[in-house]
Amino acid sequence: MSVLTHKLVRDLWRLRGQALAIALVVASGVTTFVIAHSTMRSLSLTQREFYRDSRFADAFASLTRAPRALEMQMAQIDGVDIVETRASGSALIDLAGFDEPVAAQILSLPNPHGGLNRLYLRAGRLPESDREVAVNEAFAEAHQLRPGDRFDLTLRGVQRRVTVTGIALSAEFVYLIRPGDIFPDYKRYGVLWMARKPLEAAEGLDGAFNDVLLRLQPGADVPAVINALDRLLAPYGSAGAIDRSDQLSHRYLSDEIHQWEVQATVLPGIFLGVAAFLLNVVMMRLLKQERSQVAVLKAFGYSASEIAMHYLMLAGVIVLLGSVFGVGVGGWLGAGMSRVYQEFFRYPYLHYVLDLDVAVSGVLVSALAALLGAALAVLRAARLPPAQGMRPEAPPRYRITVFETSRIRRWLSPGARMVVRNLLRQPIKASLTVLGIAFSAAILVVGGLMKDSIDVLLDVQFRQAMRADLTLSFDDVKHERVRHLLAAMPGVHRVEVTRAVPVRLRSGHRSERSAIQGFEPDARLYRLLDSDGNPVPIPRDGLLLTAILAQKLGVAAGDTVEVEVLTGERQIRYVPVVGVTHELIGSGGYMDRSALNRLLNEGDVVTGAFLGVEHSQLPALFTQIKRTPHIVGLMNREVAIRSFTETMAGNILIFAAVMLVLASTIAVGVVYNSMRVTFSERARELASLRVLGYTRTETGVVLLGEIVTLTLIAIPLGWAIGWLLCSLMVAELASDLYRIPLVLAPQTYAYAALVILVTTLLSSLLMTRSIKRLDLVSALKVPQ
C-alpha cells in the first residue's frame, strides 16, 4: 500500500462521521434520480409494449349512426392504414348486494383477425351471445366477479340477465375513469364487451356502427387525417375525431410520466447541489489542517497532480459509497413504486427495469457533484508552494463591522457576541450553510403540497362548486319536463336540469375542442367560482370560459369566439365571452341553459340533472333510478370523496414519509458537517474558553449558537424556496384534465420547521460528546 493510499484510508476513518453524512446526502440524490428515471422508463416501456401487443388505435371517433359501407371511404383517407368500426353504448348494471346503480360503457369485441384495441384475457373466454359479456378487470375485482357470475344489464331501456364469460384488460382503459370524473371509481363504473351482432341489435345498429378506430401509417399527417375524418363523418352525428394524445386514459398516463420527468430534474439537483457544497466545506477545512503535510509531500517529490488526485479520490470514495447505496435503494423503491402503479394503471404486466445507463448516469451525476465540490479546494492544494505550506497560515484579516460599533452588542452576553462576530466574519460560509438547511425545509414544504392541494381541491370542487348529492346523465336529450319525474322520486328535494353539448371553439388561428354546459340561472347545486372562490352568476347571454381554456384561445371578457357545434347539423355561431371562471377539474364553457338551447335552435331540452336528496332515502331512490331506463350515468358526491380518500390517502402518506426521510438527510448532513467544521476550526478558541473558566455548557452555547442562529434564519428562507418550488411544479403539471391549486397550509410550514429544529437538536446532541472529550492541552498547542 502506497503512502498516499494509507493516508487516504486514515483520513476516511478520521472523517467517518462527516463522510457518512455527505454519503447519505449523495445517496438521497441518487435515490431520487434512480426512482424518477426508472419509474418513468418502466411506465413508458410498458405503455409502448402493451400498445404494440394490443394494436392500440392512433385515432378515434364517435358518432350517432353510420352505414358500414362508409368503411371503404375512411380507408381511402391519405395516411390511414387500418379502419375498424364497432358498436358502443351506455348501460346500467344491477349487482346483487350492491344498492347503488352502476354505470358502464359497453363495446363490441374487436375484430378477431388483425383487429385494433385487442383484449388481454385474464380469465375465462370472450362472449359469444347476447347474454354474455366480458368485464374489465378493475371493475371485476371491485365486485369480486368471476367467469360464470351473473347480473342484470339494462341497454336502451331493456333489461337482460347476462353471464360473465371473461375478465379482460384493454389498452383503451389502462386508466379506468368515467369521463368528467376526477378519480377512478371501480365500483360504480365499468367497461363491458359483447359480441358485435348482439350489441348492434341491442343498440339499433344493424349493418351500422357508431364508433371508429384508425391505425395510421408511419409518418402520416395526423391533423390532416383527423380533419378528413371529421368531414366524412359530420353528416352522421360525429362529435369530432381525436388522435391518441387526446384519448382519456392515454392522457392521464402521459401526464403521470411527465410528472416524473419534472421530478427527475428538480429533487436530484437539490440533493447533489447540497452534497457539492458539503464536500467543498469539508475539503477546504481538511486541506487547511493538512497544509503542512501537503508541503512535506511536495518536498519529498510528490507532484501537484498526485496530491490533487489523492484528495479527489477522497471525495470520490465518499460519493461512490453514497452512489452505490443510492442506486440500490432507488432500485428497491422504484420496484415498490411500480407495484403501487399497478393499482391505478391496469396493465397485464408492468416491466420494472433498472437500466444500466440509469444507474451509471446516477453515479456520474454524483461524481460531477463531487468534482465541483472538491475542485476549488484541490486546486488550492496543488498550487501551494512547499515553503509557504510549511509556515503557519497567516491569520485572516478582519475589519470592524457595524455590529462592533452598534449598541446591540452591549445587550448580548460574551458568548452571544462571539457567535454573531464569527458569523459576520464568514458571510459566504454562513450563507451557504443557511441555503443548505433552507433546501431541506423546502423539500418538506414540497412534500406537503400534495396533501394540502388535494384537500383544497376536494373542498372547492365537491363542497363549494359541486353541491349536488347526485349527478345524473341521460342516454339522449330529453325535454325539460323530465325534472318533474325526477322531483317525484323518493327523497329528492331539489332538481336542477342541465344541457351539455360538444363544441369546437375558435379564436383567430387557435382552436380547441371542448364542451359548453348550460345551467339554470338560479343554479345552487353546481356553482361557478372565481379565483377568490366567490360564486360567478350565470349570464343571461354570452359565454363563460374556464381560465385555462380562455388562455389557450387567447381571449378575455369582451372578445368573441366562433362556436362550432359537433352534433346535429354542426352549426357555427359567434358568441361573446362575458367572463372567466376558475375550475380545478376539466375545462370548458358555461352558458344559461335557455340561451344555449336558443343558440342551437332547439327546444327546451336537457341532457342531465343535479339532485339534492335526503340521505336516508338513498336506497329507495337508487331502486327507482335502476328502474328508469334512460338514466345511464350517476355520480354520488360523498361516495366520490370517500373513494378518493380511501385510494389516495395511503399514497400521500408514503410520499410525505419519503420527503421526510430525504429532507432530514439534508438537514443532518448540513447541520452536522457545519458543526464539525466549526468545532475543528475553533477547537483552540473553545479550549481557551474552558481554561478561562467557561463551563462545558457555556462553551457548547458558543459552538452550537452559530448553527442554531443559522437554522432559525434558514427556516423562513426554506419556506419561501419551498413555495417557489411548489409554484414551479404546479405550473409545470397543469393540464386540461386538472390543475393542482397552489395551497400550503400553516401546518405544513410548521411541520417543516419542526423537523428541521428536531434534526438540529439531534445533531447538537452528537456534538456535545466532542465538546466533553475536548483535550485542552492538545488543543492549545500550536499545530506545527
Q: Which residues pair with 577 in a beta bridge?
A: 543
Q: How far apart are CA 665 and CA 672, in angstroms?
A: 10
Cα-only R_g, the chain = 34
pLDDT at 174: 92
Tell me phi and psi for residue 526, to 5 degrees: -140, 115
> Which residues are CB-contacts of 143 (< 8 A; sequence separation ≥ 6)?
95, 98, 187
CA dihedral 70, 71, 75, 78 (to 10 degrees): 40
One-letter amino acid identity for 775? Answer: D
One-letter amino acid identity for 240? Answer: G
**Selection from 456, 447, 457, 452 nearest residue 655 by Cα:** 447
pLDDT at 681: 67
- Retrieve residue 351's grid coordinates: 416491466
- Retrieve residue 781's grid coordinates: 498547542
CA dihedral 412, 415, 417, 420 (to 10 degrees): -120
Inter-CA distances, 306 with 255, 283, 309, 379, Å: 50, 16, 5, 12
pLDDT tens, residue by residue, 693-707: 777 777 777 777 778
Domains and CATH numbers, the chain: 52-250 (no CATH), 420-465+639-784 (no CATH), 492-613 (2.40.40)
- Chain position carrying cell 375484430: 111
Average pLDDT, the chain: 82
pLDDT at 20: 83
pLDDT tens, residue by residue, 482-525: 989 999 999 899 999 999 888 889 988 888 888 899 998 888 88
Q: How far apart are CA 125 and CA 166, in angstroms?
A: 5
One-letter amino acid identity for 687? Answer: A
Q: How far apart are CA 90 and CA 154, in angstroms?
A: 9
**Selection from 252, 73, 238 nearest residue 172 by Cα:** 252
- Retrieve residue 442's grid coordinates: 423546502
Helices (H) and strands (E) in the chain, counts: 22, 22
Inter-CA distances, 627 with 190, 464, 486, 490, 774, Å: 19, 31, 12, 13, 84
H helix or E strand, kind and range, residue 263 = helix 248-289
Q: How far apart are CA 503 and CA 572, in angstroms?
A: 9
Residue 615 has pLDDT above 70, yes or no: yes
CA dihedral 275, 281, 286, 288 (to 10 degrees): 160
Q: How far apart are CA 136 and CA 280, in angstroms?
A: 56
Query: Which pLDDT band, with edges at 50, 70 and 90, does 784 fall under?
Result: very low
pLDDT at 650: 62
One-letter amino acid identity for 311? Answer: Y
- Retrieve residue 150's grid coordinates: 351473473
Say if residues 661 and 674 touch (Cβ distance below 8 Å). Answer: no
pLDDT tens, residue by residue, 260-309: 877 777 777 777 777 777 777 777 777 777 777 777 777 777 777 887 78
pLDDT at 391: 64
One-letter amino acid identity for 486? Answer: L
- Retrieve residue 283's grid coordinates: 475539503
Inter-CA distances, 482 with 89, 427, 567, Å: 22, 74, 22
Question: How many degrees, rounded to 5, is the angle at CA 381 between CA 375 and CA 382?
Answer: 85
pLDDT tens, residue by residue, 221-258: 999 999 899 889 988 888 788 999 889 899 888 888 88
Q: How far apart are CA 125 and CA 113, in angstroms?
A: 16
H helix or E strand, kind and range, residue 759 = helix 746-772
